[in-house]
A and B are shown apart, each in its own frame.
Chain A
Amino acid sequence: METLREIRRRIRSVQNLAQMTRAMEAISASKVQKAQAAVLATRYYAHRAWEVIVNLSTVRGIPLHPLLTIREPVRSALIIVFSSDRGLCGAYNHNVVRAATDYARLLGVPVRYVAVGKRGRNILWRLRAPLIAHFSGLPAVPRLPDVTAIARLAMDEFLSGQVDAVFLAYTDFINLLRQRPVVKRLLPLRPTCLEDQVVCEYVVDMRPAGVADYIYEPSPEALLDVVLPRFTELQVYQTALEAAASEHAARRAAMRNATDNAEELIRDLTIIRNKARQHAITKELLDIAGGAEALRQLQETG
């Protein structure tokens, strides 16, 4: 049996651990909120930008912009996987990579990958997946300039004809307890971020009623060339924020589990400690009682 001192030391070290995991849990919870607030803040711009795109795309006589044109059949695809740089977040990274590879299998065409986050990159490496680029070092709550390079890469690959479609694999934030890995299409563009998704699914025949002809400066095509890349960046930005919210929620859950385990361990150890202490006291008492008894017997006989 361990000595009392050893048990006390173990309790203290577990208590320290619990304190740490509890702090990490609180930090992650606050980061979830920040990321969520940032996602909400982008909605308005996304909505307005999509209205503009719809308006411009329906101007008579201009061809559909390449970023909006669906290519059939899709002969190759790019999947951008959003994972985390750091661990301690349960199965977060494995789940999102699995969603991406499952989707690739479903597509049945050659798929190349871009990894965002070190953990996802490492998993894809181990799977020997064709990785063409990786990004890491995004802040806990990314800002738009942090992700523009990712969007640019996606647009370059798509416009150059290297791939016929670009997908984003990320973890959708449902609530603090539930996150779900999903894959959604980035290019050709589709307004997945909007509430009335179904309505906006097709760009054609979407001319808002009651609006007179616009003056376009310099031209509808030139305007689209400005708005569409911005919108693409925005989609990537929203995805990165959503993934960040999920990452922090996953870490919060992992830390909550760790704290609970530590507390349980402390309870068990405390019982063992009490037993050990009681044992020591009993032993001492026995010694004293035994000694006294021996002394008494000695006196009686003597």
Chain B
Amino acid sequence: MGFRLEVVTPERQLFSGEVDSVLAPGAEGQLGILPHHAPLMSTLTMGELLARRGEEELSFVIYGGFIQVLPDRVIVLADVGERADEVDAEQAERARQEAEELLKKEPPPELRAEAMMALRKAQLRLRVTHRHRLRRPTEENP
């Protein structure tokens, strides 16, 4: 028996459906949630949100947000987020290169922080798409 998972961003609903387990990037460490988890509220950091449904794995990229675990469902309020299969790998790669270029030039502190953030985002997106590809080779290379 699973539970209901809802993933929403302010701009749209990313997912809603039954899952068996959830692995979320909690602010205080990874949060693994199985059915009958105690009610919980926690902030989320940037990371990958993984949900398992039978053999199937659902993956989302999340840039911060909030998780609410209720007895019968789990609600993820992501500040910004996207489904792993929507991530534009080429764009992420470009963003990564740009951020690295910028960091090489020893920018001022505030720009540096921004570049670091962009780099981390790009790396996360690349990692998630990479894993996503490995998992479904039949669809990617028919």
Interface residues of A (CB under 8 A from B): 38, 41-42, 44-46, 48-49, 51-52, 55-56, 143-144, 211-218, 222-223, 226-227, 230, 233-234, 237
Q: CA separation between A116 and B65, bound complex, in Å?
A: 27
Are A214 and B41 closer than 8 Å at their CB atoms? yes
| Given A45-B9, A51-B68, A215-B42, 8 other A-B residues pairs in contact with their CB atoms under 8 A | A41-B11, A48-B6, A213-B39, A214-B40, A214-B41, A215-B38, A215-B39, A234-B10
Are B8 and A44 closer than 8 Å at their CB atoms? yes
Are B41 and A215 closer than 8 Å at their CB atoms? yes
Interface of A is mostly: helix
What would 12 A/B residue contacts be, using CB atoms closer than 8 Å?
A: A41-B11, A45-B9, A45-B77, A48-B8, A52-B77, A144-B80, A214-B40, A215-B38, A216-B40, A217-B43, A223-B43, A226-B43
From A51, A52, A143, B11 is in contact (CB under 8 Å) with A143
In the complex, the chain A residue whose C-beta lies closest to that of B37 is A215
Chain B positions within 8 Å of A234 at CB level: 10
Chain B positions within 8 Å of A213 at CB level: 39
Chain A positions within 8 Å of B42 at CB level: 215-218, 223
Chain B: interface size category: 20 to 34
Chain A positions within 8 Å of B116 at CB level: none
Q: Closest CB-CB distance, B138 to chain A, in whole Å?
A: 32
Are B79 and A52 closer than 8 Å at their CB atoms? no
Chain B positions within 8 Å of A222 at CB level: 43
Is B30 close to A, CB under 8 A?
A: no
Q: CA separation between A212 and B39, bound complex, in Å?
A: 7
Within B1-19, which residues are at the interface with A (CB < 8 Å)? Answer: 6, 8-13
Within B83-128, which residues are at the interface with A (CB < 8 Å)? Answer: none
Are A55 and B9 closer than 8 Å at their CB atoms? no
Are B41 and A42 closer than 8 Å at their CB atoms? no
Are B66 and A227 closer than 8 Å at their CB atoms? yes
Q: CA separation between A48 and B43, bound complex, in Å?
A: 15
Q: CA separation between A211 and B39, bound complex, in Å?
A: 8
Is B140 close to A, CB under 8 A?
A: no
Chain A positions within 8 Å of B68 at CB level: 48, 51-52
Chain B positions within 8 Å of A49 at CB level: 66, 77
Beyond A45-B77, A48-B77, A230-B79, whether A144 also contacts B41 by CB under 8 A is no
Q: CA separation between A212 and B77, bound complex, in Å?
A: 21
